[in-house]
Amino acid sequence: GEDVEQSLFLSVREGDSSVINCTYTDSSSTYLYWYKQEPGAGLQLLTYIFSNMDMKQDQRLTVLLNKKDKHLSLRIADTQTGDSAIYFCAESRTNAGGTSYGKLTFGQGTILTVHP
């Protein structure tokens, strides 16, 4: 199966760290992604991680991948009110030639609310 699941809501105080979790079922996933959607807008790629990596850090964002447990997390350090949005994790697969199948499977999204 290709299910991707996320917790639905997360509320944090400004300045704290946020951790958004995601689980997936397809062990052949090669890339995993985190997208951000602000109200009434399209999705924007935040970061991605290749499946042979355990961690990737990009400024305030840290992605952790536990391939054994098929668990992906996104940590946002020093969370700001501008980080309030819906965060989607997604997975994709490639064939042996490295070409993407062209499809992403998205989770339901986690609504992050940052309050002062």
Binding site for other proteins (CB under 8 A): 30-31, 33, 40-45, 48, 86, 88, 92, 94, 98-109
Q: Give the closest residue to 94 by CA, choosing from 15, 35, 28, 7.
A: 28
**CB 106 → other proteins: shortest distance, Å?**
4
Q: Give the closest residue to 81 by CA, choosing from 25, 52, 38, 29.
A: 38
Closer CB to other proteins, 17 or 27, in the complex: 27
**CB 96 → other proteins: shortest distance, Å?**
11
What separation in angstroms does the CA of 83 have from each of 46, 64, 69? Answer: 11, 19, 27
In the chain, what is the straight-line distance between the N-terminal and C-terminal CA atoms, in Å? Answer: 40
Closer CB to other proteins, 107 or 114, in the complex: 107
Q: Give the closest residue to 62 by CA, choosing from 42, 43, 79.
A: 79
**CB 108 → other proteins: shortest distance, Å?**
4
**CB 116 → other proteins: shortest distance, Å?**
24
Closer CB to other proteins, 8 or 55, in the complex: 8
Closer CB to other proteins, 97 or 116, in the complex: 97
